[in-house]
Amino acid sequence: MGAGKTSIGRHLADALGLRPVDADREVERAAGMTVAQIFEREGEADFRARESTTLAMLLRDEGLVLATGGGCVLDAGNRALLRGRGFVVHLHAGVERQLERLAGDTARPLLARPDREQVLRELAAARAPWYADVADLVFDTDRLDTESVAAELATLLARRWLRTGAAA
């Protein structure tokens, strides 16, 4: 949360001539509810099931930059899909930076508590092994604005594809 996945993904897709897709928005579109409403009405387990179904559908496609939710990696099947179908960039943000970026955000169900910093620290610690498991590249977003991160990533990814001949 607060690493810039959606914003950076849009800019990166533009830079690479690909289609930007946000997995959480696709879950919301299919459910006819926001992520917060799904959590509230049906629980996290139902959201995660919807997330997995959506991820599998989206990863059948080509030519996109996909921003997933931070908890997507919790499911082993999701991790396998991500490893098998894409080049995975873990956009890392420190807790202090996350708190700054999420200060006015009230739409995140996992942060709907007064101890946001503790929640973010616990999520980071719990998810770190899963991010490491799937990430082809870790990129720190703390020091740069959205456009600069996207520009640096576009350069890195273009070099990789030119070197390996991999398709986007």
Residue 9 assigned as binding residue: no
| Alpha carbon distance 82, 131 (integer Å) | 11
The average confidence (pLDDT) of the chain is 90
Task: State which CATH number among 3.30.1120.10, 3.40.50.261, 3.40.50.1240, 3.40.50.300 fits the domain covering 5-160.
Answer: 3.40.50.300
Going from N- to C-terminal start, the domains of the chain cover 5-160
Query: What is the sign, positive or negative, of the torsion defined by CA atoms of 104, 99, 76, 82?
Result: positive
Residue 4 assigned as binding residue: yes
Q: Amino acid letter at 52? A: S
Residue 127 assigned as binding residue: yes
Q: Please tell me the predicted confidence (pLDDT) of residue 168.
A: 42
| Alpha carbon distance 78, 18 (integer Å) | 22
Residue 2 assigned as binding residue: yes
Residue 24 assigned as binding residue: yes
pTM for this model (two decimals): 0.85
Q: Which among 2, 132, 138, 131 has a CA at the least distance from the CA of 73?
A: 131
Residue 52 assigned as binding residue: no
Residue 10 assigned as binding residue: no
Residue 124 assigned as binding residue: no
pLDDT digits (tens, 9 = 90+) for 26-49: 999 999 999 999 999 999 999 999
Residue 3 assigned as binding residue: yes
pLDDT digits (tens, 9 = 90+) for 137-167: 999 998 888 899 999 999 998 887 655 555 4
pLDDT digits (tens, 9 = 90+) for 54-96: 999 999 999 999 999 889 999 999 999 999 998 999 999 999 9
Percent of the chain with pLDDT over 70: 95
